Structure formats: C-alpha cells, structure tokens
Chains A and B, each alone.
Chain A
C-alpha cells in the first residue's frame, strides 16, 4: 500500500522532557503515504512521545521533523491556516480516552474538531451523522461520554478524529483494555481505512495484533532509541531483539507456521498460548 510520497521524515531527532530526562535519542525515520506502521517498545520507551511529536503537540529542539513536506515546528503551527490544514490531515487518538472526551454528549464530542476548524453547520451535522452511523454509535448519540464503557469511549474517541477525515491516523495503544469483539471491530476498521489509502501509525505493545494492524514495525529500546525496523514478520521473529527491548521474556517463543505465527510459553501449563493469524500481506 505504500507509495513514494513521504508523510513524515525525521532526521537526528532527540527529545528531552523539561525535567531534562531523555525521551527520544537520535531518531532517523521516514514514513510513506499509505503505510501501516507499528511502534513497538516497552513502557516508557518513547512511543507516545514520538506520536506527540508527529502530531505537533511536542516540538524537538534537536534534529528536524517534516510532516507532509513541511517543517513542523511551534512557529509553523502558530500560523492559523497551516495549523488548521495540518490538524485536518493528521488525527491523533489518545491512549487516555477520558482526556480526549470532554463535551456534554457524543454528538458534540464528534463535532468538536469540525467546529474548531470552522466548517459550516450543515456540513458538520452531515459528517457527524455519517460517522455515528458508520461506527454504530446511534444509541449513544445524546449520551454524555462519561456514561460510556471503556470500549465505547475508545470508539467515540476514534470517531472524533475520523470526523475530520485525516489522511494520517496516529493511535496510542488503540486496543488496550478492549474486549475481544471491540478489538476485532477496531482492527477491521483500521485495515479498511488503510485500504482506502490512509496512513496508520500506532503505538502498541500488544504483539498479538501487530501483524494485523501493521505492515512495518519500528522497535524502540528502553534507552529511547529506534533499534530496529522492518516487516512485522522479521521483527517478530527476532526474539533476541524482543527480549532485549523488554517486549517478551525468555519464556516466550515464536513458531511460524504456514498461515500463522504462534507466540507461546514453554514453561508448562501456567501461560496461555497466543495465536496470530496472518490476514494481511507482509511487506517484502
């Protein structure tokens, strides 16, 4: 699905928190249009920070970051026209849905983005209605977001971003805490959006679903470096690397079979086996 058009290009990007603590170290990365990319890494490895950099919520002082062919900086986003154009094209689904949902009902929540970008009311109503119908959220339309379950909140949070029709979708741990059915629904939606040409970049440490939601995997080490990138199959086979970056422990093994990869434990009956079905083609 990947084309030649570059969506994000990072050169020697470092990022420190205001406390001086390192969050990202020497990141060089190119993401092309239409790619599905998974950011893999243990907690605190810098995945969420990278997503926030890509969304222009944090800014690097060292290195350069270009988004959609333009330099992404505090100065460029201070320009209203550019800021609106960028926000419209790059959507971000936060890990903490509660922080993202703050309107009095689901309809207004989904309308928030389009309203902020100054769309006409009729257009906002049409778009929000269609997103609500697509996501099957009709019965929650007038409900306050805080009355929803965790899974429902996640779907509404995604709907809020989709109402802007972004070309690039950034998602932080999109499937964490979801029940199997909601997870399946979300995975299918991500796949369909990608098939429609949207670029998907998501952070996860759920290896079980990586192959389904990504073509390419980027692995971050606990010292905040990008230590490996390649097709999901290559990365998942590299158990040594996965152990080193604390994504699996020594007792987990990968067993590639004809149509699936099995990750499971070898220490008796204590651990369940995880089965990964391959539903999308692997990148060469």
Chain B
C-alpha cells in the first residue's frame, strides 16, 4: 500500500472549541430559508394531501363531476364582463372553500400573492389614456393640450380582468386542494383529457419530490461546508450554479422514476384504489352549479 503524502497543514489540529462569545448571531441565508420553506410546503402540504383528505363538501364529490363543474365555472367566469358578477363568483368560490374546510388564510394567499404580480404587469398600460382613451380619473402629467391620465375605463377594465383571473385561479386551486392527486387524474381522464397530458402530470408529480430531495441535499451539503457568512451575491451565484447541476441530476432521475413506475405495472392509465361512484350529492351539486352559472351570467348581462 502506497502511503499518501499528506501536507503539513492537514496534520494540524484546529485546537479546542471555545464557548460562544459576543452577540453576533448566525443568520440563515436567503437560499437556505427559501429551499427550507419550499421543501416544507411541498413535502408537508402538497404530498401529504392534508386538505384533500378532510371531510369537507368538495372532498366528497366524484372527481369527474368536480373537474367538469370546475371547467363550467371557469367558462362562466371568463365570459362575464361586470365586476359585480365577478366579485360574486369570487365570493362563491371562497364560500365553497370554507365549506370544504380549506384554511382560508393560505387559500387567499395562494390566489392573491401571484395574481397582482402577473395581472398588474399585463393591465398596467391599459390604465393610461395613451393606450386606452377614456374619461380622465387622475391627471398625471399636463403639457399644453396633451395630458397623461389614468382613465375610468382603464381602471374598470383592470378590475374586471383581475377579478376574472382571480376567479379562475381560485376555482383551480380549490379543485386541486380538495382532490387527491390520483383522483384528480382520474377526473381528467373521465372528462377525456388526452392520456399524454395525464402522463406528463403524473410523472411531474412523482418526480418533483425526488428532485426537491436532491436540491435539499445539495443545499445541506453546502451548509455543512460553509464557514462564516456569505453575501447575497455569492448565494445567488450558488443558486444559479445549483440549478445547472440539478438539471443534470433531474434528467437522470426522471428515467429512474419512470422505470420504477413501469416496473410496478404503470401503463399510463391513471388507476386508484377505489372506483369513485356518482352519488345523489353529485347530481345535486351539478344542478346547483348549472343554476348558479345561469344566475351569474344572467345577472352579468341583464341586471348589474
């Protein structure tokens, strides 16, 4: 056996570990906090399907009926033009969430954290008279006969658009929160969503967890090797590099996960332990949703 030529410094001891002194606290980095919060959410909330197993209103419905009626509600939301009817449909979905024992705080957060960000970017230009002429609501700039104003029509359009997006997102979030993943895929299958699309969803779901675990491991191993503080720029660089490395790992893992599914008989058809049956409640629900849709559309076009 050939001995290693160990450099001198590697043979030195670090000396005894002294008790902590001073008041400087070790802060968790943004990368650490983000990955911790994200994996916590995915593992505990998403995978544990906590809300989906509760004994609430929508959890008891047939998945096919639930997917079909959710689609109907989305069509209704998209075809409405009045902010009153859109507000009503948002409140109605909120009521359904409450009756399905969905924690309202986290439900609202999920819907309203992203919507302002994305819709605001889209509707921002339409607020101004230069893009969409209308009655001035607020004059921002005046130069001779020319002025830059926020218009009443622009604000109305923005409110309607935001409420419409919020209604659609709420319906989808409610559907996914109250339906176990396997049954949701069954629901898609029942309403004739193409198998290829379902397969992709199925794989993505199985796979996010494995990928996230790799990401957590990578961050943990970095944490164990981090001595002292790193600045935000360094952390951003690390996150960027990690994404590249994860992409490579992800590619290899997707094969492995798919093989493990095939090996246990998965053939692309979503199957569940129990076959959901359409019960009286499902018919009552369907009739109710159709009635509400008619009222909302009618109100939108004729009353409000």
Which A residues have a C-beta under 8 Å from some C-beta of B? Answer: 52, 55-57, 80, 83-84, 87-88, 91-92, 94, 96, 98-100, 102, 104, 108, 111-113, 115-118, 121, 124-125, 144, 146, 160-161, 164, 251, 267, 270
- The answer to whether A108 and B265 touch across the interface, beta carbons within 8 angstroms, is no
Given contacts A91-B263, A115-B273, contact A144 B47 (CB under 8 A): yes
Residues in B56-72 with C-beta less than 8 Å from chain A: none
Closest B-chain residue to A118, C-beta based? B271
> In the assembled complex, which residues on chain A have CB atoms less than 8 Å from the CB atom of B181?
104
- The answer to whether B209 and A102 touch across the interface, beta carbons within 8 angstroms, is yes
> In the assembled complex, which residues on chain B have CB atoms less than 8 Å from the CB atom of A117?
265
Can you report 22 A-B residue pairs in the complex whose CB atoms are below 8 A from each other? A52-B259, A55-B263, A88-B265, A94-B260, A94-B263, A98-B210, A98-B213, A99-B256, A99-B259, A99-B260, A102-B209, A102-B210, A102-B257, A104-B48, A112-B266, A113-B265, A116-B264, A116-B266, A118-B271, A144-B47, A161-B264, A267-B1
Give the CA-CA distance A160 to B48 in the complex, in Å.
Answer: 19
What 8 pairs across the A-B complex have the smallest Cβ distances?
A116-B265, A113-B264, A99-B256, A102-B206, A87-B265, A100-B260, A92-B263, A57-B259
- B144 CB to closest chain A CB (Å) equals 66
Given contacts A117-B265, A144-B48, A267-B1, contact A96 B256 (CB under 8 A): yes
Given contacts A102-B206, A104-B47, contact A112 B262 (CB under 8 A): no
- The answer to whether B209 and A146 touch across the interface, beta carbons within 8 angstroms, is yes
How many chain B residues touch A (Cβ–Cβ < 8 Å)?
A: 30
Closest A-chain residue to B43, C-beta based? A146
Give the CA-CA distance A83 to B267 in the complex, in Å.
Answer: 9
What 1/0 mask marks residues of chain B from 244 to 287 whose CB sits below 8 Å from any chain A CB? Answer: 00000000010011011111111100011111000000000000
Query: At the interface, yes or no: B49 with Cβ under 8 Å from chain A?
Result: yes
- The answer to whether B210 and A99 touch across the interface, beta carbons within 8 angstroms, is yes
* SS of B interface (majority): helix
Give the CA-CA distance A108 to B259 in the complex, in Å.
Answer: 18
Residues in B28-55 with C-beta less than 8 Å from chain A: 43, 47-49
> In the assembled complex, which residues on chain B have CB atoms less than 8 Å from the CB atom of A88?
265
- A148 CB to closest chain B CB (Å) equals 12
- B220 CB to closest chain A CB (Å) equals 14
- B196 CB to closest chain A CB (Å) equals 16
- B209 CB to closest chain A CB (Å) equals 6
Q: Quick one: which of A80, A98, A144, A164 has the most chain B CB within 10 A?
A: A98
- The answer to whether B49 and A104 touch across the interface, beta carbons within 8 angstroms, is yes
- The answer to whether A144 and B43 touch across the interface, beta carbons within 8 angstroms, is yes
Query: What 8 new A-B contacts, CB under 8 Å, besides A56-B262, A144-B48?
Result: A87-B264, A91-B263, A91-B264, A102-B205, A104-B48, A113-B265, A116-B267, A251-B1
- The answer to whether B213 and A87 touch across the interface, beta carbons within 8 angstroms, is no
> In the assembled complex, which residues on chain A have CB atoms less than 8 Å from the CB atom of B49?
104
> In the assembled complex, which residues on chain A have CB atoms less than 8 Å from the CB atom of B275?
121
> In the assembled complex, which residues on chain B have CB atoms less than 8 Å from the CB atom of A55?
263
Give the CA-CA distance A161 to B263 in the complex, in Å.
Answer: 9
Give the CA-CA distance A98 to B257 in the complex, in Å.
Answer: 9
Give the CA-CA distance A146 to B212 in the complex, in Å.
Answer: 11
- A193 CB to closest chain B CB (Å) equals 18
- The answer to whether A115 and B271 touch across the interface, beta carbons within 8 angstroms, is yes
Given contacts A57-B263, A113-B264, A164-B264, contact A146 B213 (CB under 8 A): yes
